[in-house]
């Protein structure tokens, strides 16, 4: 068994976290890569008072980082950000969960093993803030993809 991944929960320097990610990838340490990546994403919501909005900011960052890496260029979720500005975080999340097909972001998060960062997982984490049909839709989508 290899060494335990370091606790990066108090590291807020983006460059240091990116260095951790690069070194972890080079050394084949997916656990360290994931820890650094998740902390990098948490930076986005650090100054937001609403816990749900802060968590969603981290989710957006995670998706943008993953898509940027995959595409080899900076990729922003412009349409989702516009909707967020227009409709707010709760309506944006509800609409994502209620869509008949999963969003590209949901599918990407599944692919990257980050189901816990999906809109659907956030809805379940903050279920008291959503209508029962939204919570049920989120549960169905996650179950469909084998996520507890």
**What is the tally of helices (H) and strands (E) in the chain?**
8, 0
pLDDT, tens digit, for every residue of 69-93? Answer: 888 999 999 999 999 999 999 999 9
2 pLDDT above the threshold of 70: no
Alpha carbons 140 and 148: distance in angstroms, whole number: 10
Q: Which helix (H) or strand (E) holds 36?
A: helix 30-42
Average pLDDT, the chain: 92
Task: Assess contact for 142 and 119: CB atoms under 8 A.
Answer: no
Rounded CA-CA distance 83/105 in Å is 15
């Amino acid at each position: 068994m290899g060494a335990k991944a370091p606790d990066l929960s108090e590291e807020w320097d983006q460059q240091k976290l990116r260095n951790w990610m690069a070194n972890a990838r080079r050394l084949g340490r997916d656990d360290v890569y994931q820890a650094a990546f998740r902390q990098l994403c948490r930076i986005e919501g650090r100054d937001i008072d609403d816990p749900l909005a802060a968590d969603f900011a981290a989710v957006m960052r995670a998706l943008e980082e993953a898509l940027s890496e995959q595409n080899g260029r900076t990729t922003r979720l412009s349409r989702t950000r516009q909707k967020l500005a227009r409709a707010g975080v709760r309506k944006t999340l509800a609409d994502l969960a209620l869509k008949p097909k999963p969003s590209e972001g949901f599918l990407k998060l599944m692919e990257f093993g980050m189901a816990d960062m999906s809109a659907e997982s956030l809805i379940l984490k903050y279920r008291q803030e959503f209508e029962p049909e939204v919570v049920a839709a989120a549960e169905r989508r996650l179950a469909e993809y084998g996520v507890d």
